[in-house]
Structure 1
Amino acid sequence: MDIGLMSMALSQGQVKQQASLSVMKKAMGSAEQNADFLNKMVDESQVSKMEQATQPHLGSSIDVKL
């Protein structure tokens, strides 16, 4: 076997693995940001539900004049 050819193949394999890990890290970071955003939105909606539970008369009617 040619040692130079084996060395190039090993090097290419390492580069592919590093690129794959980099893409995976970016995807995981993006997924984490999405999860944080969803958690924040759920928390905010819970606050508005609690506000409405403590003050149910607010926002239940609309005054319309023509």
Structure 2
Amino acid sequence: MDIASLSTALSMTSVNNDVGAIMLSKQLDTMENMGDSMIKLMEQSVNPHIGGNIDISI
């Protein structure tokens, strides 16, 4: 067994795991932002007329 190739393979596995963890973190952040946006849209759909008109009496 070649120690150098084993070391290289293990280091590549570590790099792949690190990249995977970073991508998962980015994906979770994106999904959280999308969820927040969806909640805002749902809140607006419950009361669609709020803020749409201004009543002014002179």
Range of TM-score over shorter length: 0.7 to 0.9
Give 5+ residue unaligned stretches, structure 1.
52-66
What residue is the counterpart of 2:21 in the other structure?
21
**TM-score, with structure 2 as normaliser:** 0.74
Give 5+ residue unaligned stretches, structure 2.
51-58
Identical columns (%): 26
Return the index of the structure with the highest Cα Rg. 1
CA RMSD, aligned part only? 1.5
What secondary structure is seen at the aligned counterpart in 2 of 1:48? coil
**TM-score, with structure 1 as normaliser:** 0.66
Report the Cα distance in structure 2 between the residues aligned to 1:12 and 1:48, rounded to whole angstroms: 53
Deviations 1:1-59 (A, max 9, x none): 1111111100000001110111111111101100110001111221337x6xxxxxxxx
**2:31 is the alignment partner of 1:31:** yes
